[in-house]
Amino acid sequence: MNKNSITEVKPHITTVTGASGPVPVDALTTDTTLKVIGNAAPGAELDIWDGLLSVAKARATSLSAWEVQLTGLAPTLHSITAMNVGGQLISDPWPFEVRGNTKGSSEDFEGEPSDRLIEASYTCKSGVIVTPLTEMSLKLSSNTTPFPSGRSLEFTSSGELEVVQINLPNAALYTSFDWSYRPVLSGGLCLINYYNSAARLIGSIGHELLPLPDAEVVKTSFTAPPGETVAWF
């Protein structure tokens, strides 16, 4: 087909998919390789852009369909568009965000010195920063029962309000948390406040402290609201 004979029409992006499934407009994904599918005039040559960067080229089939595969997508915001080679016609943008996959990441303090007292801000090997904000006894306990997979943070109560701040490395990646802990006091309340990188409170979970058998732990979880990530708690 002669390029000059092609009737130019506005190209469209119809679907974006990855190994984890479809990626709708304004969605979050951990996939760094995505297939972009769309339609345009039959035989039209297209430039595919991610923001201001040209990332691929495509040609529509005789049935108007085109597709490209984007690889190595960085963990950041993306906005994909398709335009004809002359640049006169451009599709509506398809924005989404790629986030690093932190599935399975955990902090069990196993790499830290045993029975270490934490009196000021302490940075763990994982990058997690533990800071006591009130006078309290805080240490990394070497007594792994009932946490056989690693050490634990041990809080010794003085009967007063105690506050510990924990900052996370690569804060933009964290959206959900699974906790395991063992209360050793009764009649109190443990309150966990979650904040985003702008220091705005995005969620709180309170846990009543009830005595449990030595081998029993409590498990709980938290998921950030849509579009939010946790920087510290």
Label residue 81 by pLDDT band (50, 70, 90).
very high
Instruction: Tell me: pLDDT of 220 over 90.
Output: no
Structure-token pair, residue 14: 């119809």
Structure-token pair, residue 158: 């003085």
Determine what percent of the chain is predicted with pLDDT higher than 90: 26
* Least confident range of 5-19, 42-56, 129-143, 147-161: 147-161
- Determine the distance from the C-alpha atom of residue 8 to the mean position of all C-alpha atoms in its chain, rounded to a whole number: 40
How far is Cα 233 from Cα 221, in angstroms, rounded to an integer?
A: 13
Instruction: Tell me: pLDDT of 110 over 50.
Output: yes
Label residue 183 by pLDDT band (50, 70, 90).
low
Instruction: Tell me: pLDDT of 89 over 90.
Output: yes
Could you identify the residue written with the tokens 């108007």? 64
Closest by CA to 128, choosing from 172, 171, 166, is 166
Higher pLDDT, 142 or 104: 142
Could you identify the residue written with the tokens 């701040």? 165
- Predicted local distance difference test score (pLDDT) of residue 136: 65
How far is Cα 52 from Cα 77, in angstroms, rounded to an integer?
A: 12
Closest by CA to 127, choosing from 167, 164, 100, is 167
Residues 6+ apart with CB under 8 A from 21: none
Average confidence (pLDDT) over 107-119: 68
| 68-72, 98-102, 119-123, 166-170: which is most confident | 68-72
SS (H, E, C) the chain: CCHHHCCCCCCEEEEEEECCEECCCCEEECCCCEEEEEECCCCCEEEEEECCEEEEEEECCCCCEEEEEECCCCCCEEEEEEEECCCCCECCCEEEEECCCCCCCCCCCCCCCCCEECCCCEECCCCCEEEECCCCEEEEECCCCCCCCCCEEEEECCCCCCCEEEECCCHHHCCEEEEEECCCCCCEEEEEEEECCCCCEEEEEEEEECCCCCCCCEEEEEECCCCCCCCEC
Instruction: Tell me: pLDDT of 82 over 80.
Output: yes
Higher pLDDT, 27 or 112: 27
Instruction: Output the CA torsion sign for 117, 119, 124, 129.
Output: positive
**Residues 6-50: tens digit of each pLDDT:** 567 899 999 999 988 899 998 888 788 999 999 999 999 999 999
* Least confident range of 15-19, 26-30, 173-177, 190-194: 173-177
- Predicted local distance difference test score (pLDDT) of residue 2: 47
Label residue 208 by pLDDT band (50, 70, 90).
low
- Predicted local distance difference test score (pLDDT) of residue 13: 97
Label residue 127 by pLDDT band (50, 70, 90).
confident
